[in-house]
Amino acid sequence: MNDKRCPFKVGDAVIYQPTERGRGLEAMTDLASLEPGAVYKIARIDKGSYVVLEGYENSVGGGLYWTEFRQAPK
């Protein structure tokens, strides 16, 4: 994992681009329905690094590390 803080902010649109490790973590949570390449909106950022998406605020396991996403075009 990357030790840098999340460059995104709440309300940003991001594209889910999972790594192999990220897909494994996602499978253990309520996030298995996330679609690679789909655009999602950030509801909150936990611990400065974990992106929680709108509609997934109460997911088991919380958010995914920010490197699993890239900024969506504006």
24: its two tokens: 């494994």
Distant-in-sequence, close-in-space partners of 45: CB < 8 Å, separation ≥ 6: 6, 8, 9, 10, 51, 52, 63, 66
pLDDT reported for residue 25: 62
The pLDDT of residue 20: 77
Return the half-sphere exposure (C-beta side, CA atoms, 13 A cut-off) of residue 47: 9
Q: Is the pTM of this model over 0.85?
A: no
How does pLDDT run across 32-48, given as a tens digit for each residue? Answer: 788 999 999 999 999 99
